Structure 1
């Protein structure tokens, strides 16, 4: 398993990557190969498009993991060198990609996506809209929809709630301009965990921290708001599912990339993208209706547990692998 970003940081506790444990519970021996530091990775510290290429890690897989059943690359770049060299190296394991970057606004990324999708044994997208787009754009690519997962053992409800509105995320999918317009003048604290908004009156900027710090932010929030542009790529999905798993009531924009997970009035409230008035109305409604907050938060947690847990995700991947190649007798 090849993560797209470095998991282990100097001086940090062991990283969480519970997918490996979930695979082992269903009979797979799973190994996580982290992205290397600068001493072995010339792209270390760069954007994940480049950092996850990691030539040293790719060489280790090609020549020291030849007996693997499959290599799972989270994001396309980790599979780039494997797919380019698999024939000359005589590399037999399946090479699959989980999660594909947006190929519409960066020509270099579009070339990498095109190269990898045409050669991977399978490609799994977290959004049905993106799955259909990729299948049409890259004929012959083996693209399937695979719901994203969340660690429901780590992200758990706290049993209480705080007093602020929380929004989290740094990627380009976030529409903080609409959020700021929606909360302007509201008599409620607003906390953002992002580098994309400067501190201003009524807005607190939470610093980056550990996963435990992130979980504490969710626990102390009253509601979570996910303002998004209407993108095909599932930007914001991690924050959405973390909030669900923590049992928080969520207001989310109706972006195509996360629409598969949004069930209006059942596990969240959904508003049109870019509509500050609708976003404000949904936020106000949740703040004023304790019963609705509790109902949506409980339903969100149940949804995360039953449909999006890491065990459920591992089982879905196992079924998809079985359709690609028979398992060895030990699995």
Structure 2
């Protein structure tokens, strides 16, 4: 009998961009693959790839407790209907809701992918501390199933959940990111332009370091450094840290930053760039830095969990202190002014991507974890 595999992801577009290859790997390994997400424009792409798709009433922000309970119930009901041999949960809500529901449903093994600990682990204060304790309790509930593995993208997140007492260390696995299809990112020489191009590609959130990037561009302009600065991405209205339309409009009017908006041709944009930056406050392991490495571009990023795990410091890129626009400007200026250094770093980045972030290797690491769980299906 063909085993059933179910992957639950909050956003269908995120599934296509970050987990499609893993689901295809599970299908090639012999599973009948189901995918469950919230509704959205990328649902059609999931179905076109031949997966059985289910819509769940998940939301990105979710501040209504009754709707969240309804979402949890919908996940539980789906698990009873499908009875998956293997359940793969991706992003915070699916991990928490799916992990809790899996303890009350006929599920064989569970893989919980913690690709970052989210906004609440960045902010400080009494309210945030209470919220972290509450989330820690829900993680404890969600990760308690015996036949379960938790995939982390960096060791800091792994050690944090273990230190909070919500995870058995024996259940922890480490896979460095979502991988990159090397065939889609060719290693081209830098373009010959009068001014080097520096780009930041991310959701336009404060905790991605967008404000520090804009301020670093101002600092470099005041220093007389010749460069073009590109901001690639869209605002995220459902996120409390989102950049506003008014801020975008002000930067566009200022003329210092090129506002490119959301783009799906990142490989082409990076091929035309000289330096890629991501001054984020915390990450799982940012795919954009892996894509920059695959494109052979040097990077400047922050010395925080996830970002520092995506580079080889002083070999493929530079680390700078978080929330420090002056330090970011200094790092960017070093690479803007020294073409030889950034080209050496770019070449080293391509080699790092080929050895550590190749998509085929990442898929195989997932399949090995699935195989571990297959041997111990327990149907709690």
Normalised to the residue count of structure 1, the TM-score between the two structures is: 0.80
| Structure 2: gaps of 5 or more residues | 1-6, 41-53, 236-242
Describe how 1:165-176 pairs up with structure 2 within 5 A.
165-170=198-203, 171-176=205-210
Distance in 2 between residues matched to 1:152 and 1:28, nearest whole Å: 22
Q: Which residue of 2 aligns with 1:274?
A: 323
Distance in 2 between residues matched to 1:317 and 1:302, nearest whole Å: 22
1:144 counterpart (173, 176, 200): 173
Describe the shift of the 1:182–1:85 C-alpha distance in structure 2 as closer, same or farther (beyond 3 A).
Answer: closer
Distance in 1 between residues matched to 2:38 and 2:276, nearest whole Å: 34
Q: CA deviation at 1:28?
A: 4.5
Distance in 2 between residues matched to 1:28 and 1:252, nearest whole Å: 40
Q: Which residue of 2 aligns with 1:59?
A: 77
Q: CA deviation at 1:169?
A: 1.7
Aligned residues between the structures: 315
Q: Which residue of 1 aligns with 2:238?
A: none
Does the 8 Å contact 2:300/2:320 carry over to 1? Answer: yes
Q: Please give the per-residue CA displacement for 1:61-107, whole angstroms capped at 9, x wherever unaligned.
A: 4322x253x21111242244443344543x13211111253353562
Describe the shift of the 1:87–1:57 C-alpha distance in structure 2 as closer, same or farther (beyond 3 A).
Answer: closer
Higher relative contact order (CA 8 A, sep 6+): 2
Q: CA deviation at 1:255?
A: 1.0
Distance in 1 between residues matched to 2:305 and 2:357, nearest whole Å: 18
Q: Please give the per-residue CA displacement for 1:43-68, whole angstroms capped at 9, x wherever unaligned.
A: 45x4389699576565334322x253
Distance in 1 between residues matched to 2:288 and 2:17, nearest whole Å: 21
Does the 8 Å contact 2:217/2:256 carry over to 1? Answer: no
Q: Which residue of 2 aligns with 1:126?
A: 153
Does the 8 Å contact 1:253/1:271 carry over to 2? Answer: yes
Q: Which residue of 1 aligns with 2:271?
A: 219
Misfit runs of 4+, over 6 Å:
13-16, 48-52
Distance in 2 between residues matched to 1:16 and 1:224, nearest whole Å: 23
Distance in 1 between residues matched to 2:151 and 2:18, nearest whole Å: 24
| Structure 1: gaps of 5 or more residues | none
Describe how 1:32-47 pairs up with structure 2 within 5 A.
32-37=34-39, 41-44=56-59, 46-47=60-61
1:95 counterpart (110, 122, 146): 110
Describe how 1:181-192 pairs up with structure 2 within 5 A.
181-184=215-218, 185=221, 186-192=225-231
Q: CA deviation at 1:245?
A: 1.8
Q: Which residue of 1 aligns with 2:50?
A: none
Q: Could you say what secondary structure the match of 2:10 adopts?
A: coil
Q: Please give the per-residue CA displacement for 1:11-41, whole angstroms capped at 9, x wherever unaligned.
A: xx9998122234455x343625141428954
Q: Could you say what secondary structure the match of 1:206 adopts?
A: strand
Q: Could you say what secondary structure the match of 1:7 adopts?
A: helix
Q: CA deviation at 1:164?
A: 1.5
Does the 8 Å contact 2:103/2:145 carry over to 1? Answer: no
Does the 8 Å contact 2:79/2:102 carry over to 1? Answer: no
Distance in 1 between residues matched to 2:112 and 2:70, nearest whole Å: 12
Does the 8 Å contact 2:143/2:166 carry over to 1? Answer: no
Q: Please give the per-residue CA displacement for 1:136-175, whole angstroms capped at 9, x wherever unaligned.
A: 1134433332211322246403524454210122244322
Describe the shift of the 1:305–1:191 C-alpha distance in structure 2 as closer, same or farther (beyond 3 A).
Answer: same
Q: Which residue of 2 aligns with 1:180?
A: 214
Q: Which residue of 1 aligns with 2:185?
A: 156
Describe how 1:292-331 pairs up with structure 2 within 5 A.
292-326=341-375
Q: Please give the per-residue CA displacement for 1:148-204, whole angstroms capped at 9, x wherever unaligned.
A: 132224640352445421012224432233322322213211111243252232111
Describe how 1:252-263 pairs up with structure 2 within 5 A.
252-263=301-312
Describe the shift of the 1:40–1:124 C-alpha distance in structure 2 as closer, same or farther (beyond 3 A).
Answer: closer
Q: Could you say what secondary structure the match of 2:333 adopts?
A: helix
Asked whether 1:75 is paired with 2:91, we answer yes
Normalised to the residue count of structure 2, the TM-score between the two structures is: 0.71
Q: Which residue of 1 aligns with 2:255?
A: 201
Distance in 1 between residues matched to 2:165 and 2:178, nearest whole Å: 26
Relative to structure 2, which stretch is displaced further, 295-304 or 116-125? 116-125
Q: Which residue of 2 aligns with 1:5?
A: 11
